[in-house]
Structure formats: C-alpha cells, structure tokens
Amino acid sequence: MARNNWIAVASAAHARRGCAAVDGPGYMQVCHGKVAPLKRVRPGDRVAYYAPTVTMGGKDRLQSFVSIGIVLPGEPYAYDMGGGFVPFRKDVAYVRAQEASILPLVAHFEFVESPQRWGYKFRFGLFDISDHDMRLIAQAMQADPQALHFATEPQYELAF
C-alpha cells in the first residue's frame, strides 16, 4: 500500500488537543477546519503536526513537531465545537513521541528549497513530504518506526 506523508500545521495547543483523546482515537483538523484538504489524506497515511507557536496567533514561538501518527479509515466528518464553529476532522492513531524542534532538521529536509525561506511551505497548513523527511521527523521525535509502518529503519547521523 502506498502511503503518503503529511505535515499539518497548527498551534501546539490545538495539535496537543487532537492527540490527547482518552476515549478513542485522536483527530486532525487543518486549515481552520476546511474539508477540502482533509479529502487528500488517505487511511494509512502518516501525519506529523508542526507548531510554529504555542497558542494560535500567539507570539510564543515554538517551532517544533508536537505529534505524529497514522490516519485511520473514514471520511472527514463535521464536529460541533460550540459557538457556531463546526470544523471537519479525520481520525488519527497517534504514536508515543517526544516533541522536537524543527531547527536541527531544516538543513536535511528534502522539501526545503531554500534554507533562508524554510518556513514558506508551512503557510499552506497541510503539505506532503517524502518518506525520508518523515523518517527524520520520527527519529527526532523518538517515535517507534514500526508503529508508523516503516518497512525498514534507516538511522540518520544527525545531532539533535
């Protein structure tokens, strides 16, 4: 089965809420709850959440990956969060991982076209990346590669 790899962007507070479910799977929500980006994400795909800040719109810079997991089967669904906000979500099985700064990884990512403008793609809210880049993220986060369905486990010599 071909898997895609995705980076989703949200504040750490929002990303952490999505993976903190205690009564079932976690969820992903992207681009302020829009459904269209979630339709590109398929069951079995890997997703890592990058948080530029701790809080939405905040000046509290974080620049870290905060969660990583596997997208579960099912279509995007609407979820009423109250106050008239009904975003779309997809369920995700998050794996145990440590939050990790992006800064030591930037020079090694294939998706970064210009190190001076490494943050450009994050403005899209959701974008696909290579297996190589997802492995780097998983390694930095100390996530179990088998739980993320990597067939083999190459180790990269990076100083984190």
- At 152, the pLDDT band (50, 70, 90 cuts) reads low
Which 8-state DSSP code applies to residue 54? S
pLDDT digits (tens, 9 = 90+) for 67-104: 999 999 999 999 888 888 888 999 999 999 999 999 99
Q: Which residue has the tokens 């780097």?
A: 136
| 88-94/77-78 β-pairing | antiparallel
Task: Report d(CA 21, CA 32) in Å as an integer.
Answer: 20
In this prediction the pTM is 0.89
pLDDT of residue 136: 97
Return the CA Rg of the chain. Answer: 15
Token pair, residue 92, equals 């995700």
